[in-house]
Chain A
Amino acid sequence: MIMLRDVHKRFGSQTVLDGVNLDVQEGETLALLGPSGTGKSVLLKHIIGLIRPDSGTVVVDDEHVGKLKRKQLAALRSRIGYVFQNGALFDSMNVLENVRLGITDGDKYRNDEYATQRVAECLKLVNLAPEVVAKFPAELSGGMRKRVGIARAIAGSPKYLLYDEPTSGLDPVNADVIDSLVKRLDNELGVTSVMVTHDVRGAFRTADRLALLTGGKIVQQGSQEEFLKSRNPKVQEFLERDFPDATFAA
C-alpha cells in the first residue's frame, strides 16, 4: 500500500505540494489527474524517493521512504517500476541492454540466458517485435520508446508500477494502444499502479480510482462515478471538456 500524509514540497519560492494526502490500495489502478505543472510528476517521484518531501510522510509497504538508507531505498525501488514521461531510455545502450537493466535481481541480471529470455518476454508483453532488441533509442518512434520504457519497468517483476504521463505527446491511436496496454498489464501482472495523466478519457478507461491534484492539494479522490457526480467546481471544470454531457450533481 502507498500512503502519503500531509506532504509539502517547495522549489525556491514556488510551493508545489501543499499538504497532499493520498492512499493507493493494493491491486488497484489510480489515475492522478491534474492540469499541467501542478506537481503530479513531483508527487510520483516522492513515492520512489527521487524527491524527498520538505515535510510530511510517504509510506510504501509500511516503510517511510524519506527515512530509508541507501540499500533499503534500492531494495524498495526494486519493487517499483517507474515509466518516465519520455521513456528516459539510456542513449548509449540498445533496447536489449535498456530492458535488461530493469532486471533488479543481481544474479538474474548477470545470467545472460535468463536476461535475454526475460527481455523477450517483456517486449512481447508490450507488443514489440523481437527484432527491436538491437535498435538504439534514437532509432525508435515516440510510441515505441514509451513501450520500451514500460518493458524496462516491468522487467524486474515489480509490485508497483508508476506511470508518468504514459500517453503524452502521442497521437490518439497510439495513446489508445498505450492505455489498453496499461490496463492489460495491470490485469495480467496484478500490480498496483499509479498513473499520472491529464488525459481524462484515458484515465477513465484504465483506472479503478481517480484523484485530482490542483493547487498543491488532492481536491477529490474516488471512483469514476464519484468523480462524475462531484459538486467540486474544480473537478467539474477539469472534466467538462472531456465529458460535456456529464450531469454534474447540482
Chain B
Amino acid sequence: MSNQYFNKYFKLRKHEAKVAWKKAKISKMCYLFLLPYALLFTMFYILPVINSIFYSFTYYNILEKPRFIGLHNYISLILEDDVFLIGIKNTFMIAIITGPLGYILSFLFAWLINELPRWIRAITIVVFYAPSISGTLYTIFSVFFRGDSYGYANAFLQDWGFIDAPILWFNDPRYMLPICMVIILWMSLGAGFLSFVAGLQGVDGSQYEAGYMDGIKNRWQELWYITLPNMKPMLMFGAVMTITSSFGVCDVTMALCGYPSTDYAARTVVTHLFDYGFSRFEMGYACAIATMLFLIMILCNKAIQSLLRRVGT
C-alpha cells in the first residue's frame, strides 16, 4: 500500500523534474537568443545611464581619476551656471511649445488624411514625413533666412517695406528661437505620425457603425468617443517619441544659430552638455547635465502617460 503511494509520488516528482528540465531548456534557448542584444543593450544603454549618474557626483576630466565631490556639480549647475539656466529655459520653451503642438499636428494630419483615397494618402504621407526622415534637409532654411538681403525672408520683407535693413535672423536673439521652433514643428511629423496613421487605419469599422446607431452626430464626437479610445497605445507611443525629441533639441539650433550662438540665445541643455563634455572635457559636470536631462525626460514621460490614460473617458 505505502509502496504504491511512494511509487506514485516518485512518478509525479519525476514528471515535474522533466517539465522543469524542458522549461529550463527552452529558457536556455531564449537566453541564448537574447544574449547578444542584451549584452550590447546593457553596454550602450544601461551601463551609460548608471555611469552617468555615478560620474555626476565626481570631478572627472579623463586624465585624472574621478574624484568624489558630492552634490557640488548639481549645486554649481543650478546656482552658479547662468548659461545652463538659459539652456534650461530655452529647452523648456522649445519643449512646451513644439512638443504639444507637434503632437497635436501629427494626430490632426494623420486623422485628416485617413479618409483620403489610398494613393493620394500614400503621397501625402511621404510629403508630410519627408522633413523628419530626411534629417538634414532643414539646413536649407539657412538659405531662406539668410542674414543679407539675398535671403528670401529679408528680400520679401524689404520689398513690401516692412523693414529697411536686412534682419540677421540667426544672429539676433529675438528671432533665433522662434525660427528654430517653426523649423522643429515642420519636422515634427515623425515616428509618432506614422504610428497614428497606421493606428487610424486599424480602427474596426463596425465600431463606427455601432456609433451611428447610438446617435453619434458629427466627426468630433466620433473622434472623442470611438477613435481616440481605440488609439490609446499609439497615442502613448507618439507621446514618448515627441517628448524624447523635443527635450533633446540641439541639431537644428546648433546647425542654424551656430555653436556657441550669440549671447547663448539658442543654447539648449544638450548643447551645454556637448560644451562641457567634448569641448572642456569636464566629464563629471557634463554627466550631471545628462542626469538632469534623463530625469526630466523620464518624469515628463510618466506624467504624460498618466494623463493619456484618461483619454476618451
Same complex for A and B? Answer no
B interface residues with partner A (beta carbon < 8 Å): none
